[in-house]
Amino acid sequence: MNKKRICKVSSVLLLLVLSCFMVINYDAMKERDGKDDESLRDYIYQKCELLPRYELMLTSHLLSEQGTDLKSLVKEVKTKNINVDLQQIEQFQGHSLSELEGEPLRYYAIDHTKGTIFTNDKALGKKQDVDRIKENYYYYLRVDYDQQGEAKASGDYDDYDNFADEKYLLEELEAQKYYVLGATLYDENTNSEIRTLTLENPKNMTFVYAIPRTYTLSDFHMYGYNNRAEVYTSYLFPYVSLCVLVIILFIMFYPMAIIKECNPYKSLKKVKFEIAFIVSIIATCLSVLIAPEITAVTNSGRLMDSIMEVGVNKGSPIIEGIISIIMWMLIFQFVAYIVFILKYIIMKGFQYFKERTLVAWMINKLMELLDKITKFDFSDSQNKAILRFVAFHFIIISILSMIGLVSNSFLLVLVFITLYSIALFYFLRKKFSTIKQDYMILLNSTKKLSDGNFDIEIDQNLGIFNSLGNEFSNIKDGFEKAVNEEVKSQRMKTELVSNVSHDLKTPLTTIITYIDLLKNDNTSDQQTAEYIQTLDRNAMRLKNLIDDLFEVSKANSGNIHLDIEKIDVVSLLRQVNFECMDSNQSKQLEFRITTSSDKIDIHLDSNKTYRIFENLFMNIYKYALANTRVYIDVVEQDDTVHISFKNISEQEIQLSEDELVERFVQGDKSRNSSGSGLGLAIAKSFTTVQGGTMKILIDGDLFKVELVFKKDKRS
């Protein structure tokens, strides 16, 4: 397993272990929360806030039993439609008593005039002493209204000092008479809102509110009235702090060279600093808000209920755990990313802000723009045309703006802009039409070229495509040349096969013929000896032909070994000339060798160079005109040595210089000479592999070969 994979696996395992650690400790947090009476305090506080609304609804129920409604309590009216405003009052009061079903808050309401009772706990109607009340209830409050609507409160047995006491509650209930109910009117004289109507207090009624001790403390955070997320924030703090510390240690001590090449860090490190900073703040805030909320929802059982509501009954605890683990893995992964970025910034130093910030990026782009402006070529025709176009339109827009400022008439400017836009449209349409036509000319010419038509020429002015038109001519010439080269190559391949077949077949046929003659029993000893000599000569010719073919093939492929050493090229040339003298008996050629120095040293392969000279001498002996002079010049220059061979050809040379150095090509097209056609090809190949050049020049019957070698060639 390589280092990157180890880093990825260890990172995922660490996040998984830490996430499981958080989920495992949910029970400890829940147990701690069950001992915290803050939830009861919050529940009592919020219910006391809603008591005026509950009292209004209880009063409405009691009045409805008497055949009347809230209209009987209307004290002051500043509206034309009381019924509509009373409906708005009921909507404004919000909660109906039905939502209290199943909750810890108990209520008891009685109208002493009619004896009407409305309650969800009849036990509250019985008289109880203070000790009994404290024994049975967390909270107890009784409010009595007399015949005049004056209120008197008793109870407030909530075990909390100065919390939701009688005085506070009476003030809240009294405020009902002055609370802004229903619609409001606006008084322009006093610049304030006017209450549309005011209700009187109930009369001769009693209201009792209580919270039984039959409920446990942990039951109160199941009803959502208290902010459990804030409570769980304090519960989570030590566990999250420990996990964050582990992540910091892991990132800080893990080698940066490895971790920065592992995803997601490899991709995230490329994010610009400002973006990473903003996302970090947003994600941190979301984590602080969501993590305690999800934990509270999980411990209260509401997450499980939500899972079961969507139809997942089996395995819902597992799904609940997976959701929590995924949440914590995402949070911890983000923490790891923040720590990684901080470490990366520390290690990169100021260079990080130069490479990974939007400010630095914008500065670089601005500098590039300024650099382009300073290097703008005003002499370029295309740039001049663009500048003229932009300047012209700038002037037009400036004139239209000035007309608008002077005339203060938007309509006039709009007319000018419309006319100008129409003129600009027709101008650009004509311009683009011309460009399209030029493009189609170039495209059609290209299609014809692809079809093999090399006679196509582009003489028209193509505007912005003129440079492409010029290149098109070069491409056409290149294609035509490539096609001609391919035709030539195919022709030479055919000739090569034919020449190889001919040159191999001739000695082979001779060998077969003389072997058949030797099989004749009537052959004399003298004839047998002659036949054997002929067989030997043709066998050697066939061997040399095959050897030459292998030599030139190896040289052309570059698969040839060179033994470079310092040799005297003048001495080697004279040695080859002397050893080939026997071939000169029939032609009686006169050699004139001229050298610029008696000794010229070059670093070459002696065997390959010997073969080059030998092949050139043998070529002269075969094709030079008898009784003529052959000139060989060796000239030493600063860095090179030039060797030239010049002779008069016996027959008219009908081949080009390039064709003469091809394999199996003979100067005598009738192929009546004894050569294999490989001599010049081998000479050129051996010259090339040694870093030299070989060039053939033909001037009428004058045949000239020029060799050039570098003096300091070593390998």
What is the pLDDT averaged over residues 560-583? 86
**Those residues with Cβ within 8 angstroms of residue 590's Cβ, 6 or more apart along the chain or in another chain:** 627, 628, 629, 630
What is the rounded end-to-end Cα distance, in angstroms, of the chain? 45
CB atoms within 10 A of CB 569: 23
pLDDT at 178 over 60: no
pLDDT at 506 over 80: no
Amino acid at 18: L
What is the pLDDT averaged over residues 662-669? 49
Phi and psi (nearest 5°) for 152? -140, 125
Confidence tier at 455 by pLDDT (50, 70, 90): low
185 DSSP β-pair partners: 194
Q: Which residue in the block uniquely carries the two structure tokens 């210089």?
A: 657
Tell me what pLDDT residue 226 has: 44
Task: Tell me which of 486 and 168 has the higher pLDDT.
Answer: 486
Confidence tier at 160 by pLDDT (50, 70, 90): very low
Average pLDDT, the chain: 73
pLDDT at 94 over 50: no
- How far apart are alpha carbons 171 and 194 in whole angstroms? 22
- Range list of β-strands (E), 136-203: 137-145, 151-155, 184-187, 192-195, 197-199
- How far apart are alpha carbons 369 and 371 in whole angstroms? 5
Task: Tell me which of 94 and 589 has the higher pLDDT.
Answer: 589
Q: Which of 36-50, 60-74, 558-572 has the highest mean pLDDT?
A: 558-572
- How far apart are alpha carbons 441 and 462 in whole angstroms? 8
Question: Percent of the chain scored above 70 by pLDDT?
Answer: 63
Report angle CA 548, 551, 552 to the nearest 5 degrees: 90
Tell me what pLDDT residue 633 has: 95
Write the CA distances from 489 to 50, 298, 664, integer angstroms. 102, 83, 14
pLDDT at 210 over 50: yes
- How far apart are alpha carbons 668 and 651 in whole angstroms? 8
pLDDT at 40 over 90: no
pLDDT at 670 over 50: no
Phi and psi (nearest 5°) for 183? -75, 160
**Per-residue tokens: 456:** 């196509």
pLDDT at 103 over 80: no
Contact 274, 357 (CB under 8 A): yes
What is the pLDDT averaged over residues 176-200? 50
Question: Which of 650, 651, 563, 642 has the alpha carbon at shortest distance from 610?
Answer: 563
For the four alpha carbons of 554, 555, 558 and 559, in that order, the dihedral sign comes to positive
Coil, helix or strand for 590?
A: strand
Contact 587, 603 (CB under 8 A): no
Confidence tier at 68 by pLDDT (50, 70, 90): low
Contact 272, 18 (CB under 8 A): no
pLDDT at 169 over 70: no
pLDDT at 187 over 50: no
DSSP classification of residue 25:
T
- How far apart are alpha carbons 456 and 446 in whole angstroms? 9
Tell me what pLDDT residue 571 has: 92
- How far apart are alpha carbons 358 and 33 in whole angstroms? 46
Contact 640, 711 (CB under 8 A): yes
Write the CA distances from 324 to 87, 283, 298, integer angstroms. 45, 17, 8
**Those residues with Cβ within 8 angstroms of residue 445's Cβ, 6 or more apart along the chain or in another chain:** 456, 458, 472
DSSP classification of residue 649:
B
Contact 428, 393 (CB under 8 A): no
Phi and psi (nearest 5°) for 377? -90, 100
Tell me what pLDDT residue 641 has: 94
Confidence tier at 631 by pLDDT (50, 70, 90): very high
Contact 116, 103 (CB under 8 A): no
Amino acid at 53: R
Confidence tier at 555 by pLDDT (50, 70, 90): low
**Per-residue tokens: 444:** 């059609």
What is the pLDDT averaged over residues 90-107? 61
Q: Which of 82-86, 104-108, 370-374 has the highest mean pLDDT?
A: 104-108
